[in-house]
Amino acid sequence: MTLSDVLASIDREISQLQMARALLTGRSQPTAKRKPGRPRKTQTELAAQTAKPKRGKKRTLSAEGRKLISEAAKRRWAAQRKATS
């Protein structure tokens, strides 16, 4: 027997003993050791995290609107230039 075979055999025996102990103590599953750190997310949490948020319809600005905004910006810049000079 190689070392890996021996280790596999020992692991099988350990798991069988844990299951037998769980049956004798009345628990259905042997207790698993908790790993350090933040607990893993459930499947529903993962699905909610990966789902993209719904966006509203993209709005467009008309040519008139762009022109009005441009003129207003030019008026503000002119006012600033006038105030600094």
pTM of the model: 0.34
**Structure confidence by residue, pLDDT tens digits, 29-39:** 555 677 788 87
Sequence-ordered list of residues with C-beta below 8 angstroms from that of 8, at least 6 positions apart, any chain: none
Q: Are 19 and 31 in contact (CB under 8 A)?
A: no
Residue 28: predicted pLDDT: 59
**Structure confidence by residue, pLDDT tens digits, 26-78:** 765 555 677 788 877 788 887 877 777 777 788 899 999 999 999 999 999 99
Q: Are 22 and 28 in contact (CB under 8 A)?
A: yes
Residue 24: predicted pLDDT: 86
CA distances from 63 to 20, 69, 70, 71, 72 (A): 78, 10, 11, 12, 14
Give the integer Cα–Cα distance in Å for 67 and 74.
11
